[in-house]
């Protein structure tokens, strides 16, 4: 057996030992990242640039928060997407003293919140998986700035 063939077989063997949930998570991460990237093309036409992508997974009716450092005077669009098992994802954006600044809680799986902060700071984005057919459902969050 050649050294190259041995390395390939070792790689295939290693791949086979990766637990199935890890491979599945990678598949869903790729799916939501592709959706965010597609949205980036549409938002670019409106003058926005993608700055970050966040991803995760949630069971139905579960939520979690991200802390987003935002700059004063910049226009931000924060877009959520989710996998094929998700039918409804909600976003709520909070500022200081937990004041809700914007939200998208419509019955859809592509929520968008917008903000132009009047000060630099850390803002909290709450992500809620409202409807998930097969838990957990995977989501992606794209942060865009103009």
- 117: domain CATH number is 2.60.120.380
Residue 34 reports pLDDT greater than 50: yes
Strands 86-94 and 76-82, sheet pairing:
unpaired
- Residue among 49, 103, 48 at smallest CA distance from 80: 103
With H, G, I as helix, E, B as strand and everything else as coil, classify residue 103: strand
Residue-level pLDDT at 25: 62
Structural domains counted in the chain: 1
Residue 123 reports pLDDT greater than 90: yes
Asked if residues 82 and 139 have their Cβ atoms less than 8 Å apart, the reply is: yes
Residue 108 reports pLDDT greater than 50: yes
Domain span at residue 54 reads 3-145
* Those residues with Cβ within 8 angstroms of residue 72's Cβ, 6 or more apart along the chain or in another chain: 117, 118, 119, 120
Residue 20 reports pLDDT greater than 50: no
If pLDDT is split at 50, 70 and 90, which confidence band does 106 have? very high
Mean pLDDT, the chain, as a whole number? Answer: 84
Considering only residues 46 and 6, tell me which one the structure prediction assigns the higher pLDDT.
Answer: 46
Residue 41 reports pLDDT greater than 70: yes
Q: Find where tokens 């670019």 sit.
A: 44
């Amino acid at each position: 057996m050649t050294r190259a063939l041995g390395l390939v077989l070792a790689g295939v063997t290693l791949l086979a030992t990766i637990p199935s949930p890890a491979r599945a998570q990678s598949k869903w991460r790729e799916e939501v990242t592709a959706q965010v990237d597609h949205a980036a093309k549409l938002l670019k036409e409106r003058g926005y640039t993608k700055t970050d992508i966040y991803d995760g997974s949630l069971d139905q009716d579960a939520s979690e928060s991200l802390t987003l450092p935002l700059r004063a005077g910049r226009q931000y669009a924060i877009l959520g997407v989710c996998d094929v098992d998700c039918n409804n994802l909600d976003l709520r954006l909070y500022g200081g003293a937990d004041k809700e600044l914007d939200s998208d809680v419509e019955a859809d799986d592509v929520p968008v919140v917008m903000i132009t902060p009047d000060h630099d700071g850390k803002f909290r984005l709450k992500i809620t998986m409202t409807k998930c057919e097969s838990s957990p459902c995977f989501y992606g969050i794209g942060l865009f700035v103009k």
